[in-house]
Chains A and B, each alone.
Chain A
Amino acid sequence: AQKVTQAQTEISVVEKEDVTLDCVYETRDTTYYLFWYKQPPSGELVFLIRRNSFDEQNEISGRYSWNFQKSTSSFNFTITASQVVDSAVYFCALSRAARQLTFGSGTQLTVLP
């Protein structure tokens, strides 16, 4: 079974706080990719990052960082010093051999000024 779980439905933080969005996945594939997408209030989907199953190095891009741990099947996303513009729905997704992208249910992040 292919499944992506984002247990945090909604998170609210005050500006400049750090926040971590959790993503746990299930797959039987040995080769797969994980993605994060952002959906701001305007509604479009914006690609943030992809990570393949053989690369467990953490990645940092500005205030964003991602922690991939195969041992716990997790691919968590941390925003450092959050800003109001980070308010959005964030989706984690799993790509597998069957040409399908499976999304989690999303986490609504609200950053308060």
Chain B
Amino acid sequence: NAGVTQTPKFQVLKTGQSMTLQCAQDMNHEYMSWYRQDPGMGLRLIHYSVGAGITDQGEVPNGYNVSRSTTEDFPLRLLSAAPSQTSVYFCASSYRFERSSEQFFGPGTRLTVL
């Protein structure tokens, strides 16, 4: 199993550009989520999904869109990048979201918006 994979590892964008961060898992996990990590703020939840076709907002959803057309993939879209979106982005998954679930994290994508 590859686990949770994320592409790209690094990305530089100009303000106003759009892009999609890719996340895939091969563990047949129902629950997938996106976090952003900023210095001194830990990880904050952006969006999450409890299954194909079902998504919901986390703590900091503004400026990001998600969709979940398959169990395996959960892409994160930035429609018009802003410098405030410079961050490290982590995708995570678990079999289900129960309160006891251990989250499996991808390696992260480091995004810089100029």
Let me know if A66 is at the binding interface, CB within 8 A.
no
Is the contact region of chain B dominated by helix, strand, or loop, or is it mixed? strand
Which of A9, A45, A52, A95 has the most chain B CB atoms inside 10 A of its CB?
Answer: A45
> Shortest Cβ distance from A49 into chain B, in angstroms?
10
Are A43 and B107 in touch, CB under 8 angstroms? Answer: yes
Contacting residue for A101 out of B88, B103, B107, CB 8 A:
B103
Query: Hey, which chain A residues are within 8 Å of B44, CB to CB?
Result: 103
Given known A43-B88, A45-B90, A52-B100, contact A91–B42 (CB-CB < 8 A): yes
Contact digits for A4-25, partner B, Cβ 8 Å, 1 yes 0 no: 1010010000000000000000
Query: Hey, which chain A residues are within 8 Å of B26, CB to CB?
Result: none
Show the binding face of A for B, using Cβ within 8 Å. 4, 6, 9, 31-33, 35, 43-45, 47, 50, 52, 91, 93, 95-97, 99-106
